[in-house]
Amino acid sequence: MSHELGRLEDLPQDYRDDLKNLNLVPLWPSLRAVLPPKVPTRATQAIHWPYATLRPLLLKAGELTPIEKAERRVLVLANPGHGLENMKASPAMYLGMQLLLPGEWAPSHRHTPNAVRMIVEGEGACTTVDGEKCPMSRGDLILTPTGLWHEHGHDGTEPVVWLDVLDLPLVYYMEASYHVNGERQTVKQGSGDRAWTRAGVVPTQVFARSDKRYPMLRYPWVDTRAALVAMAADQPGLDCVQVTYVNPETGADAQNILGFYALMLKPGQTLTLPARSPAQVFHLIEGGVDVSTCGKRFELVEADTCCAPGYEPVTLKNRSADQPSFVFIADESPLHRKLGVYEVR
pLDDT of residue 19: 97
What sign results for the dihedral spanned by CA atoms 213, 124, 57, 298?
Answer: negative
- Give the residues across from 133 on adjacent strands: 128
pLDDT band at residue 1 under the 50/70/90 scheme: very low
CB atoms within 10 A of CB 193: 19
pLDDT of 48 over the 60 cut:
yes
CB atoms within 10 A of CB 269: 18
Q: What percent of the chain has pLDDT over 90?
A: 91
Average pLDDT estimate for 38-57: 97
Residue 316 · residue 264 · CB < 8 Å: no
Q: What percent of the chain has pLDDT over 70?
A: 98
pLDDT band at residue 10 under the 50/70/90 scheme: very high
pLDDT of 3 over the 70 cut:
no
pLDDT of 129 over the 90 cut:
yes
pLDDT of 317 over the 60 cut:
yes
pLDDT of residue 210: 67
pLDDT of residue 208: 67
pLDDT of 86 over the 80 cut:
yes
In sequence order, which residues have a C-beta less than 8 Å from that of residue 331 and are 6 or more positions away? 258, 259, 261, 276, 278, 279, 280, 281
Provide DSSP, 199-236.
Answer: TTB----SS---S-S-S--EE-HHHHHHHHHHHHHH-T
pLDDT band at residue 192 under the 50/70/90 scheme: confident
- Give the model confidence (pLDDT) of 253-266 as tens digits: 999 999 999 999 99
Return the amino acid letter for 183: E
Q: Give dist(CA 200, CA 89) in Å, integer.
A: 36
Residue 98 CA, chain-centre distance (Å), reads: 14
Average pLDDT over the chain, rounded to an integer: 95
Residue spans of alpha helices (H) in the chain: 13-21, 31-34, 51-64, 67-70, 168-173, 192-195, 221-234, 333-339
Superfamily of domain 47-184+217-339: Jelly Rolls (2.60.120.10)
pLDDT of residue 2: 52
Provide DSSP, 133-172.
Answer: EEE--TT-EEEE-TT--EEEEE-SSS-EEEEEEE-HHHHH
- Give the residues across from 175 on adjacent strands: none
pLDDT band at residue 191 under the 50/70/90 scheme: confident
